[in-house]
Chain A
Amino acid sequence: MVEVKNLTKHYGRVTAVRDLSFEIRDNEILGFLGPNGAGKSTTMNIIAGFLPLSEGTVTVYGHDIKEDARAAKRCIGYLPEIPPLYPDMRVEEYLRYCAGIKGMRHGEIKAEVEKVMRRLSLIDMRRRLIGNLSKGYKQRTGLAQAIIGDPKLLILDEPTVGLDPSQVSELRKLILDLGRDHSVILSSHILGEISAVCSRVVIINKGELCAVDTIENLERKASGSLTLNLTVEGAQADVSRVLSEISGIKETDEIADSEENVSSFKLKLEDEKVRQEITSALVKNGLNIVEMSMERPDLEKVFLELTSKKAPKDNADNK
């Protein structure tokens, strides 16, 4: 398990990351979300041991990144935003070098490089110069250097940036596959990617923690109430009267409808059970339901809601 406790990073007078605390469990893919400039890369660089932290602790599988850096770094495979590649090296030669600097023994390197190249489908590219590879293969080679030596924790900083859609979906599959036997932190500002791959999400904004939770919980919490779109055959006044008798409806918005004798509403419900009450009340009063659909808040709304909540407070701070 990786624990980040009260992590703070100052750059001179500027505080890039303030009091972050979260944990990465074994064999889980943790999404790291935030708008550009939120402090994602800084946090990842600190966990990977590239940047020193100002306050707090980061413990990687029992090793403190500050006190016991070498042991902690042995547990980490890091793919930074720009993959660290040497264009004048060949793929296999480069991966052997990476295995070497990670402290693998000479006898183990050949088998390990072979295994990693097979897993990432790089076998056909082994003799190619990295500088001549396509963007997708470069990214794969970058990922290969991260997983070489089988580190327990993988830190992937925006791994799909600049890839075409088919490469993105291939890379996602790879990450999901890697998540079975590694703990993964995946940063991105593409929400679809996070919801497709990750089980839990950390959302940060302006260096501060906004939320740490599963995607489902976040969606539930963020909306506060459920929204129901309802279209009923009948006069608006009649329907409104029926609806007003149901106590579980928090808010009723009438939507002007062009069709005659059909009325539409947007309702905010306390919980899902209210939906059944509405159905039976409408049927009892002889009103036919044309359409009824629940509106689920997607991750994008959650994200926007959480990241915009913090903004006024920060503005006040700046003043």
Chain B
Amino acid sequence: MFALYKKEIQSFFYSPFAYVLSALFMLIFGFAFVNRIASMQSSVFQFSFPDMFYNNFFYFVFIIPLLTMRSFADERRGGTEVQLLTSPLTITQIVLAKFFAIETVFLFMIALSMFFPVYISLHGTVIWSSLICGYVSFFLWGTVCVAIGMLFSSMQSSPIIAAIIGEIVMEGFLFLDQFAATKMVESYPHLNAVITWFSMQRRFVFFAQGMFRLEDLVFFLTLTVMVLFWIILHIEKRRWSHR
């Protein structure tokens, strides 16, 4: 399993892929950061980073599918899927190796973004508790999106189509809150409750306020595990219906 993980990591870092995406990520973060500073009222730099994370997420959902689009679609297109599935690795091991590889790249991006709070801490004050909560929630939210992106990649043989579908679905998740707040959905309390429960945004707000709720942690982790399980089932199902 480690061999596959290593190969995946290499495919990101031996090509410009991880660097270009990280640069894009830093660019978006940098813009948000500069905007934030420009709108500061006080002379002391003290602002909440989770707010920045929150604003960033709308752009970030465009980066994650680019990271995940090749994971399975490329293997299928290049005929290397046969090699993976005829190797002694189980499908679960294959999915987990790929998942952890993408998570590693994601963590690399997050680590790069730490430049901003470090810079602030040199010239102003950072609220560490809210910063840590912000990072944790950003990571958890991103992890769910990675799993969803991989799911669509496993369903497609074209990486681009996988990326586009992934983006649409992730944007859909972001607007779940607004959808729940519409009059139509509000008139059905049960439907409203279900949709609100799935809303990641609402949970993000708790984190942003520096509240670390076990309920939210469980939510993000179970959702990730469920989607990963779905990927495993989907690949297994495709083996059976393969022509």
Is B4 a contact partner of A100 (Cβ separation < 8 A)? yes
Q: A50-B86, A85-B78, A85-B80 are in contact. List 20 more A-B contacts (CB 8 A).
A: A45-B82, A48-B82, A48-B86, A50-B242, A51-B242, A70-B90, A73-B86, A76-B86, A78-B82, A78-B83, A84-B80, A84-B81, A88-B15, A93-B10, A97-B7, A100-B4, A100-B6, A100-B7, A101-B4, A145-B83
The distance in angstroms between the C-alpha atoms of A123 and B98, with both chains bound, is 30
Residue from A80, A88, A103 within 8 A of B79 (CB atoms): A80
- Least CB distance from B237 to A in Å reads 11
Asked if A84 and B7 make an inter-chain contact with CB atoms under 8 angstroms apart, the answer reads no
The residue in chain B whose Cβ has the minimal distance to the Cβ of A81 is B79
Interface hits, B67-90 → A, CB 8 Å: 78-90
User: Which chain A residues have a beta carbon within 8 Å of chain B's beta carbons?
Assistant: 11, 45, 48-52, 70, 73-74, 76, 78, 80, 82-89, 93, 96-103, 145
Of all chain A residues, the one with the shortest Cβ separation from B83 is: A84
Minimum CB distance partner of B2 in chain A: A100
Interface centre among B10, B82, B86, B242 (most CB of A within 10 A): B86
Q: B residues 114-135 with Cβ under 8 Å of A?
A: none
| A51 near B239: Cβ-Cβ < 8 Å | yes
Judge whether B14 and A84 touch: CB under 8 Å. no
Inter-chain contact B3/A101, CB cutoff 8 Å: yes
Whether, in the assembled complex, B190 has its beta carbon less than 8 Å from a beta carbon of chain A, the answer is no
Q: What's the least CB distance linking B14 to chain A, in Å?
A: 7
| 23 A–B pairs (Cβ distance < 8 Å), ordered by A | A11-B241, A11-B243, A48-B82, A50-B82, A50-B85, A51-B239, A51-B242, A52-B240, A70-B88, A70-B90, A73-B87, A80-B79, A84-B80, A88-B11, A88-B14, A89-B10, A97-B3, A97-B7, A100-B2, A100-B6, A101-B3, A101-B84, A103-B88
Q: Give A73 to B94 CA distance when docked, in angstroms.
A: 15
- Chain B nearest CB from A303 CB (Å) reads 26
State which residues 1-33 of B face A: CB under 8 Å: 2-4, 6-7, 10-11, 14-15
A201 to chain B, nearest CB (A): 24
A residues near B90, Cβ cutoff 8 Å? 70
Who on chain B is nearest to A71 by CB? B88
Closest to B5 in A: A100
Interface size class of B (residues with CB under 8 A): 20 to 34
Enumerate chain B residues within 8 angstroms of A76, measured Cβ to Cβ. Answer: 86
> For residue B97, which residue of chain A has the nearest CB?
A101
Residues of A within 8 A of B79 (CB): 80, 82-84
Which 10 pairs between the two chains have the least Cβ-Cβ distance?
Answer: A100-B3, A84-B83, A82-B79, A84-B80, A101-B87, A48-B86, A73-B88, A97-B7, A80-B82, A70-B88
- Residue of chain A at shortest CB distance from B7: A97
Q: How far is the CB of A174 from chain B (nearest CB, A)?
A: 20
Taking the closest CB of chain A, its distance from the CB of B89, in whole angstroms, is: 6
Which residues of chain B are within 8 angstroms of A52 by Cβ–Cβ distance? Answer: 239-240
Which residues of B lie under 8 Å from residue A98 when comparing CB positions? 83
Cα distance A87–B74 in the bound complex, in angstroms: 11
* Residues on the A chain within 8 Å of B241, using CB: 11
CA distance A263 to B83 in the complex (A): 62
CA distance in complex: A85, B242 (Å): 21
Q: How far is it, in angstroms, between the C-alpha of A264 and the C-alpha of B2 when the chains are bound?
A: 73
B78 adjacent to A84 (CB under 8 Å)? yes
User: If A73-B86, A73-B87 touch, does A50 touch B239 (CB 8 Å cutoff)?
Assistant: yes
Point out the residues of chain B lying under 8 angstroms from A145, CB to CB. 83
Instruction: State the CA gap A11–B87 with chains docked (Å).
Output: 23
Q: Which residues of B contact A87 (CB under 8 A)?
A: 78
Query: For residue A89, which residues in chain B have a CB less than 8 angstroms away from its CB?
Result: 7, 10-11
Contact B86 A78 (CB under 8 A): yes
Minimal Cβ-Cβ distance residue in B for A93: B10
Residue ID in chain A nearest B79 by CB atoms: A82
Task: Collect the chain B residues with CB atoms within 8 Å of residue A86's CB.
Answer: 7, 11, 78, 80
Q: A82, A88, A89, A100: which has the most chain B beta carbons within 10 Å? A: A100
Contacts of B242 in A (CB 8 A): 50-51
Interface core residue of A50, A76, A89, A145 (most chain B CB under 10 Å)? A50
